[in-house]
Structure 1
Amino acid sequence: MSIRTDLAIECIDFAGETLPQGIITNEKNENGMTITAVEIKEEEAANRIGKPVGHYVTIETDGFEAAAPNFEAQVETVAEQLRPFLPEAGNSYLVVGLGNSQITPDALGPLAVRYMLTTRHISGELAKQIGLPELAPVSALAPGVLGQTGMESAEIITALCEQTKPDLVVAVDALAAGRLTRLGTTIQVSDTGISPGSGVLNKRKELSKATLGVPVLSIGVPTVVDLNTICQGAQEKGQAEKSMMVTPREIDTLIEHAAKTIAYALNRTFQPGLSLEEIAALTA
Structure 2
Amino acid sequence: MFTKRTDLALEARELWQESAQRTSRLAGVKATKQKQEGYPVTQVDILDQRGEEALGKPVGTYLTIDLTTFWQRKADFFERAVRVVGQALKGLVPPEGPVLVVGLGNRAMTPDAVGPLTLDSILVTRHLISAMPRQFSGFRPVSVFRSGVLGTTGVESAEAVRGLAAEVKPALIIAVDALASRRVGRVCATVQLADTGIIPGSGVGNHRSALNRDTLGVPVFSIGIPTVVDAATLAADLLEEAGAERVDEEALRASQQNLMVTPRDIDAQVRDLSKVVGYGINWALQDLEIEEMNALLS
Runs of at least 5 residues in structure 1 that lack an aligned partner in the other structure: none
Aligned to 1:162: 166
Q: 1:37 aligns with which of 34, 37, 43?
A: 43
* Contact 1:226 1:245 (8 Å CA) reproduced: yes
Aligned to 2:242: none
Alignment of 1:201-280 (within 5 A): 201-232=205-236, 237=251, 240-241=254-255, 242-272=257-287, 274-280=288-294
- What's the CA shift for 1:246? 0.1
- What's the CA shift for 1:19? 3.5
Alignment of 1:109-258 (within 5 A): 109-123=115-129, 126-129=132-135, 132-232=136-236, 237=251, 240-241=254-255, 242-258=257-273
Give, in whole Å, the separation in 2 of the partners of 1:77 and 1:205: 30
Q: Secondary structure at the match of 2:134?
A: helix
Identity of aligned residues (%): 42
Give, in whole Å, the separation in 1 of the partners of 2:16 and 2:28: 14
Give, in whole Å, the separation in 1 of the partners of 2:74 and 2:262: 20
Deviations 1:78-133 (A, max 9, x none): 11111111125x3210000000000000000000011110000112671424xx32
- What's the CA shift for 1:240? 3.2
- What's the CA shift for 1:65? 5.5
Deviations 1:17-57 (A, max 9, x none): 43321111110112221101111111122111111110000
- Residues 103, 225 of structure 1: alpha-carbon distance in 2 compared, 3 angstrom cutoff: same
Q: 1:108 aligns with which of 101, 110, 114?
A: 114
Aligned to 2:103: 97
* Contact 1:264 1:279 (8 Å CA) reproduced: yes
Give, in whole Å, the separation in 2 of the partners of 1:169 and 1:245: 29
Calculate the aligned-residue CA RMSD, in Å.
1.8
Counterpart amino acid of 2:41? I
* Contact 1:65 1:254 (8 Å CA) reproduced: no
Aligned to 2:295: 281
Give, in whole Å, the separation in 1 of the partners of 2:156 and 2:260: 23
- Residues 168, 68 of structure 1: alpha-carbon distance in 2 compared, 3 angstrom cutoff: farther
Q: Secondary structure at the match of 1:224?
A: strand
Q: Which moved more, 1:232-241 or 1:136-145?
A: 232-241
Equivalences, count: 280
* Contact 1:112 1:259 (8 Å CA) reproduced: yes
Runs of at least 5 residues in structure 2 that lack an aligned partner in the other structure: 18-22, 237-246
Give, in whole Å, the separation in 2 of the partners of 1:45 and 1:189: 18
Deviations 1:220-268 (A, max 9, x none): 0100000100111568947534310000111001110110000000011
* Contact 1:12 1:19 (8 Å CA) reproduced: no
Q: Which moved more, 1:231-240 or 1:72-81?
A: 231-240
Aligned to 2:87: 80
Structure 1 consecutive aligned stretches of length 4 or more whose deviation exceeds 6 Å: none
Which structure has more helix as a fraction of its residues?
Answer: 2
Aligned to 2:239: none
| TM, length-normalised to structure 2 | 0.89
| TM, length-normalised to structure 1 | 0.93
Give, in whole Å, the separation in 2 of the partners of 1:31 and 1:41: 27
Q: Secondary structure at the match of 1:221?
A: strand
